[in-house]
Structures are given as structure tokens and as C-alpha cells.
Amino acid sequence: EPTEISPEIILNLELLLKHKKKKKRKNKSWSQRRNAVEEKWEEHREDILSAVILNNSFDGLCQYCKFEKIAVKCDTCFWKKLCIKCDEKLHVEYPMHNRIGIFDGFKRTLSPSETVDEESVIIDKYPTIPLMPINCQSCDSYNVERIPGDCVAVVTIAGKYYLHLYSLRCKDCDSTSNPFTLENVVGSGFWPSAPTKFSYLFHVETLQFWDTLRKNAPGTSEAAFLEVLNTMTNLHGRKTGKITPAIFSMAFKEWCFCQHKIHILQKKKWIECPSCTHVQHSCHVDGNCKLYRYRSSG
């Protein structure tokens, strides 16, 4: 005898048949997807403009303490909008952040040597280089005071800065020490223009960036790269003058030679480059022959 089929099973079968008959949605082509993205951009341009304008506003409370009104906007900090006290507190250790203040209703870029008081008046200060360590070398205490010294040039990917060397005076043992040794400077991520005199310091990231750029864009000159850094300096309102090409060139060559010596210690043999390996470097028909010529030429 035929068994009775429940209505629930019949409904499921009908849904399954409809699903099979349903045509598959065609994937959009690349041009259609690009057109859809462009339409979305055009549709939301006003919203994006409103968001940018709101981000540049100085209305509201400090994002760090959430108590005082906003006085300074920092493009680098996680907390973008800061009051006077929080700005001074945070940027003692991070003087190379790009900051903007508002004076008489107009925005103005703030150099590392400038801060703002309660009456929106610019006060000069002595920003120091962010160097490690910050503890006393005699008693290992962190209760130390920085005594600013000579002003030196510091170059990063954001341009040129003028910051101060400093000495550490310990408030516990009353000793004074100079933290600016070659080991501390290199360990803090800087490369000096000379091994004994730190009148110019280059952030290692800047040297790495130029090394990568010149290898991937061989047509770019060192002079053009330095001009870009000078433009970035002016863009952020720092009146520090241009980077000296001869000093940068010498520091970069010494950094490259140091990297070469490190590669030797790591046993990286760049001259031995077979054209067919699992980590292929070149596939030119006479690639290995060229390497042999380089080796024989010394």
C-alpha cells in the first residue's frame, strides 16, 4: 500500500525543484565592477567631504583626557585632537609628530620647538631627540631630567627637523651622563652622518626607503629624492632649510656598506645565483655567465 506523504515533505520538494530551476546569477565583468565602484564613489563624495571637514574641526573635547577643549590636532598620534596639557605630555617623547594649532581663527602648523599656552600663545621649547635609554647610567634610576644641548638636524621620511641633543641628570644620585653614544644612536633607529659627531642624524627607515626606491625605480636620482624630503619639510611648515646632499650621500653609502657586511655575516652569497632554483632570482639565458664575469672582475 502506498504510504501517505506528509505536507512538509511535499513543500520541501517543491522548494528544491524551484531552487534547481532558478538560473544562476551571472558574474559581473571587470568593467562592470569598476563602473559600480565609480558610481559608489560619486554617490558618497559629499559624505566623504563632510567626514574630512568634521575631522579638521577643533570643536569638542580632547580625545585623550576627554575633559579639556581641543587646542592642537596631531596627524600622527592615535589621539588626533588634544588639549594643551595632553599635547605637551605626549609630544615630549614624540617630538617629530606633525601638529596643527588654531590662532585667531586660522590654522597654523606647529614645529617641534613650539607649544601653546592657555591663551593660545605660542611658546618656544627645546625638543629633544627620542633616544634610548632614558635611565641613569650610574644608579639605573628613571628619575632623570633632560638638559638640552646642541641643536642638530634629524631627517626622517617626513622631512628634516631641528632637535636637541641632551644630557641626563639623575635626581637620585645627582650624576650627569651623556646618552649619545654610537651604540645608543644606532640602537634607537638613527644613522649618524659621522661616527663621532652627531650633527646630522638620519632615521634608518629613510635610508631603507631610498635603497628600495632606487632599486625599483632606477631612473629616480638621489637629488630628486632629497627634493621630495625638502618638499615634505616645507609642507609641514618647518623652516629648517634643505638637506645637505653630500652628507646624505656619505651616510647612505656607509649604511649600505654596513648592510653588506651584515649579509656576509649571515652568509648570504648574492654572487651565487643559479637561474633555476626554488627561489628563482634570474632567468636570463646567460645570467650565470654574467655572475661569473662579476666575480672575475673583483
Measured CA to CA, the distance from residue 100 to residue 84 in angstroms comes to 12
- Using a cut of 0.95, tell me whether the model's pTM lies above it: no
- What phi and psi, each to the nearest 5 degrees, are found at residue 180? -85, 75
- pLDDT in tens for each of the 298 residues of the chain? 455 666 777 777 777 776 665 555 567 788 888 999 999 999 999 999 999 988 888 888 988 888 888 889 988 888 888 888 888 888 888 888 888 888 777 888 888 888 877 777 777 888 889 887 778 878 888 888 888 999 999 999 999 999 999 998 888 888 888 889 899 999 999 999 999 889 999 999 999 999 999 988 888 999 999 999 999 999 888 888 899 999 999 999 999 999 989 988 887 776 665 555 566 655 555 555 555 555 555 5
For residue 236, count other CB atoms closer than 10 A to its CB.
Answer: 19
HSE, CB side, 13 Å, CA atoms: give it for residue 8: 0
Beta-bridge partners for 234: none
Rounded to 5°, the CA angle 135-138-142 comes to: 25
Q: What is the pLDDT of residue 144?
A: 86
Q: What angle do CA 46, 50, 53 make, to 5 degrees?
A: 140
8-state DSSP, 33: H
Q: What's the pLDDT at 160?
A: 95
Q: At what angle do helices 45-55 and 30-43 cross, to 10 degrees?
A: 50
Q: What is the pLDDT of residue 243?
A: 95
Query: Residue 25: what pLDDT?
Result: 57
**pLDDT at 270 (0 to 100):** 67
Per-residue confidence (pLDDT) for residue 219, from 0 to 100: 87
Edge to edge, what strands does the sheet with 159-170 contain? 176-177, 159-170, 144-156, 200-203, 190-192
The answer to whether the CB of 107 falls within 8 A of the CB of 72 is no
Grid cell 645637505 in the structure block, residue? 244
Rounded distance, CA 3 to CA 23, Å?
A: 34
Residue ranges per structural domain of the chain:
40-125, 144-266
Helix (H, G, I), strand (E, B) or coil at 216: helix
- Quick one: cell of 121? 600663545
